[in-house]
Structure 1
Amino acid sequence: MARRTARDLRSENRFEVLHALFELGPSTRQELARHTGLSPATVATIVTEFLSEGVLRVATVENNTGGRPQERLTIDPERGRIVGVDVAETYVDATVYDLELGVLGHGEVALDEHENDPSYVVDGIVRAIEAAVADGGVQQKRILGVGVSMPGHVHPDAGVSVFAPNWDWHDVRIEELLEKVLPVPVYVDNPLKAVVLSEMWFGVGRVVDSMAVVNLGTGVGAGIAIDGSLMRGATNNAGEWGHTLLRLDGRPCRCGRRGCVEAYLGAPGLRTTLAEIDPDHPTLAQSRQRDFVEAVALGLDAGDPALKELALRTSRYLAAALGDLVNLLNIPSVTLTGWTSTALARWLVPAVRAELPDHVMPGSLQGLTVEPSQVPGNAVALGMAAFTLQRFLTRLGLGSPAGTRPRPDPEP
């Protein structure tokens, strides 16, 4: 591990102050110092830097009887615009945000899950961004940066999609390809890192420091935070829970192994389970993954017995796989996100909760929560926007790692 320097600590302090403003809203310097645990002098210096770059503005001035007027500070949403992009095997979802990460516009483009040429994917990303920018009425010159989440193993420092198994991508320089067609800085990362950052900032991370954010879609994975820090691993590949073993010599997985969690909980895995239950079920006629999952949800609403059995088996697979994750990490919170989770959570979550005591060690079970994500909008796009905000501040000389959350308030 690289030795931390005084400059690293100053950068972390700056981002703690900014994150505190996301949590608290308009705040005085004294309130920011109490919330972050930083000294008043440190907060005053950081606020001066932010004001000079237009990142903050004075919202109000409060006149206190017998004391000096106090400025209440806020992030200036008009400082610029940031785009967060969620790229999956079946779609590209783009959102334009202001600097407070408020949504201004949205665009979505469907992708053919069987088409894997990088130029095809890049074109879809560009079209989704253009749609979001048009929807928000945003001038392109005001965009400070674009954050793009890519499925599979991503090396953000090099801007490379190292391995995307569903597309059979190997070492695709996706950031370079995007910067050729987008006239703004681009940052790429993995969706598991984006969703856990969203939860750390805007979801369950406001009340717990350690968590797993489980993403269910075409692929399956878990974003992980421990003691307030996002876990990346040695090569940014931490969280590939979908490629841990659920059943020895089980179903083939797209990663090349057999019996992976993803082979049972990814959207193609759900299709395989339904085919085992009823090979002639009409829902299997849905060729697109998202259409299939939405049809499953509609059939569950109607009480279809085969689909109820599908939900039961899937919840058992999920509970067993989550049990391994919780036993390994001793985390108090599991949050479900992703489009499959959104469609099926009301059937899966109660069944998973009922099954978990059979899979989690008693010492890790007490206080364990399993909930659907409450982060508004697209959590992947929001997380990528937060990463991109960090990159923007770094270019100003004000940045720090976004994968941490502020220390809790000091004891009174």
Structure 2
Amino acid sequence: MPTPDAAARLDHVAGLCDFIDASPSPFHAVQTAVAALEAAGFSELRETDPWPGSGRHYVRRAGSLAAWSTEAVGDLPSSAGFRVLGGHTDSPNLRIKPNPDVTRLEWDQLGVEVYGGPLITTWLDRDLGLSGRVAIRDAEAPGGIAQRLVLVDEPLLRVAHLAIHLDRASAQEGVRLNEQQHLAPVWGASAGAGPSLRAFLADRLEVPERDVLAHDLMTHDLTPATRFGRDADLVAAPRLDNLATAYAGVQALIAADAALAGDGGRIPLLVLFDHEEIGSMTDRGGFSSFLPTLLERVVLSRGGDREDLHRALADSLVCSADMAHATHPNYIERHEPEHRIAINGGPVLKVNAKGRYASDAPGAAAFALACEQAGVPMQRFVVRSDLPCGSTIGPMSAALTGVVTVDVGAPMLSMHSAREMCGADDPAMYVAALTAMLAPS
């Protein structure tokens, strides 16, 4: 596999920006990924239906998605192993409460909860939109309930900062925010005379207000993803953690399926989980039955049994892909001195002796070979020994499946900010390395 050329690098940075702009919520990220998969010949399966033994397929569970190609392995036995690429669709943000309408003085506000671990101050004084899904009454839908995606991609909400004149200590001591008291965004000044959120949603969805039954809604930054810098060699965008992986994973699966062309040794499979930022302990998170059940059903659909499943797992590899911390030039002391990570320096292998990352020698070697095959450099990240280490879906997937697992990522700064940054060359190198992981030569 050749090193990504200049045209490929331009294509992938533009593709990443488009993917992010179209995906303000996990539900929209799944929708965006599905569009790319269907254009490449993948078709949808439902968990309630019987599954065929061959083909290019995807299945979605709310904000989670999995896709695979048994066409890639041709006539290999049902005990053939998997090459699994895992990531997640969710990002830290402010989520709307079930009964959100608040009126204080003349201000119309919405109650919010903090989702994940965002850098809260970066959400202040930004134009925010609203996105997610709404459950509505529909007598013709299963159970009498239909789900509709909502995207209000216009200036609707704003969390207003307190003027420094009223909190001069914040200049020296930093801003201190109470999540209950200080984060409710304003969206009007009618003193409660304007429409409620439920009425607003009903109008957008063109349904009676009484038919709006529930919602999973969140705020998103409206500034589009863009290249910046003197040489336009950097990218600023919301939700790089972890939509950069979601984009790269979809592109890698499509490219791997084409590269294998029915002559692969393992089944390439992509899984993107929701709820990683809140611990993954949900019906569609990384600690759910989603991946183990999926692997079992693929084996069974190909005529295998439980023995074949366990043989397949023993011959599989999971690549847990999430974004990685580049070394910050203003905070060099917060990084491990012998493991500097450079923007535009290539994909990152992540290692932690306490098991916060799942990488061990066999998995690390497999990723090193993938980067070598892809013609891209590989960097190695280790957190400082005196600092705590974050985690990923990697350790969970390893524990649930017993499969050798490696944790990798792409370098970035400002992780969990409302607006993050990465290098403009890194998306193409990330795609190339992940493609080689799914389709090793």
Give TM-score, length-normalised by structure 2: 0.23
- Higher strand residue share: 2
- Higher helix residue share: 1
Give TM-score, length-normalised by structure 1: 0.25
Kindly indicate whether structure 1 or structure 2 has the higher relative contact order, using CA contacts under 8 Å at least 6 residues apart.
Answer: 2
